[in-house]
Structure formats: C-alpha cells, structure tokens
Amino acid sequence: MIALLQAGYAEPHAARYDAATMGMFVLIIAIGVIGFIVQARLQSVFKKYSKVQFPGGLTGAEVAEKMLRDNNIHNVKVTHVGGHLTDHFNPQTMTVNLSDSVYSSSSVAAAAVAAHECGHAVQHARGYAPLTLRSQLVPVVQFASTAATWVIILGLVILASTQNELLCWIGVGMIAMSALFSLVTLPVEYNASARAVEWLQTSRTMQGAQLAQAKEALSWAARTYLVAALSAIASVLYYVFLILGRRD
C-alpha cells in the first residue's frame, strides 16, 4: 500500500492519481476489517466477563457510586439508560449513565465499564485538559460533520468548471475537525480506563484474576477508539487525494 502511494508521486498525473487512489482504497478496507475484528473481540470479551462474578458482589451502579464517593465527587448522579454498551458520562447533566447490561449486573465487565465512565467524571472534576477540549469541540464537530460532504460536493462542481479549489479545501478542513475530535478522544478514553483500573486496584474492589480481566475488557474498548481515529484520518486523506486527482 505504501509503495502504491509513493509510486504515485513519481509517475505521470493519471498514473499518480490511480496509484494513490488504489492505496487509499486498500487503507480504508484494511481499517474497516480491523475495526470489525476489534468490535467483534470487544463484544466477545464483554460477553465472557459478563458471566464472571467478582467477590464484592456490587452492581455496576454500586461500583460507580462508590468510585464517585471515594473521589469526593458528590454532584454526579448514577442513572440507568437503555441499550447495550451505551454507557456514558454526560457533563451537561452531571450524570453517569449505565446501560441495561451494566447498571444492575455484578459482573467483572459491568464493574469495569462503570468505573471507566466514572473515570470521565473524575476527569471533569479535576479539569483534565483533553476532556475540556473535546467538550469544546462537540458543537463544532456536529456542524462540520453534517455540512462537510455537501461543501466538498459543491466544491468539486466549482473545481470542474473554474479550477477554484477553495471550497473543496474548506470541506476537507471540516472533515479534519472530526479527525481532530477522534484524536483528542484517544487520551480521554485511555486516561479514563487508567483511572478506573487504578481505583479498582487501590480500593480493593477487584484483585488478582478479576482485575486482569477488567484490564483486558477496558483495553479492547479503548482499541475501538484507536480504530475510529485511524478511520477519520483515512477519510481526510481520501478527500485530499480526490481533490488532487480532480485538479490533475
């Protein structure tokens, strides 16, 4: 794939575009396959450790409440939401929202997920910079992701008739905002998992094999965000090569 991309810059315009495009298609397909594998593995690990009860016998909701108390966070409420693995921390409502498979379950997987979401609450309480930046990017990304495709399509039409690339590059910049959001999300998610594991260990909520299982579940969850970031970067590169190809 890399050879295809490199070869594209040493050949005539048409061949360069074809080689670069082929390289991008290979990259996108590879990321898609990896994403499918990671997601399937996450589901498998979560299902496996959802059947493993840890000695404390606390439910996901009780684990979350305990972690919040231990971190002196008293303004965050633990609530229940529908769905599977729809767990999230909402800084607007100051709630840790736990899904059906986590809220009332006393499994290793439920405790790990609950602690991870509380890790975000701890980040918020401590003013963790990447989380603050991600929150600030949310409205920008919501607008950009909605409008970007239409901006690029209009830009390509203008490029075909006037050779003016400005609108195309504005569209690429909007897509790049989503990529930036995905990149900022990486330290936020990895740090939340690290905080969760540290608390599970120091509070003796989990030890030994159960702690190792929680770490494994959280590591696979984190990898889904890594794949998402790679996919977002690939999307930006795809549109860059598309514009360059139309220019040629």
Catalytic residues: 117
Tokens of 62: 């009780």
How many angstroms separate the Cα of 70 from the Cα of each of 2, 19, 136, 203, 232? Answer: 49, 56, 28, 8, 37
Give me the long-range contacts of 89-98 (CB less than 8 A, separation at least 24).
89/117, 89/118, 89/120, 89/121, 89/124, 91/124, 91/135, 96/64, 96/68, 96/120, 96/121, 98/60, 98/61, 98/64
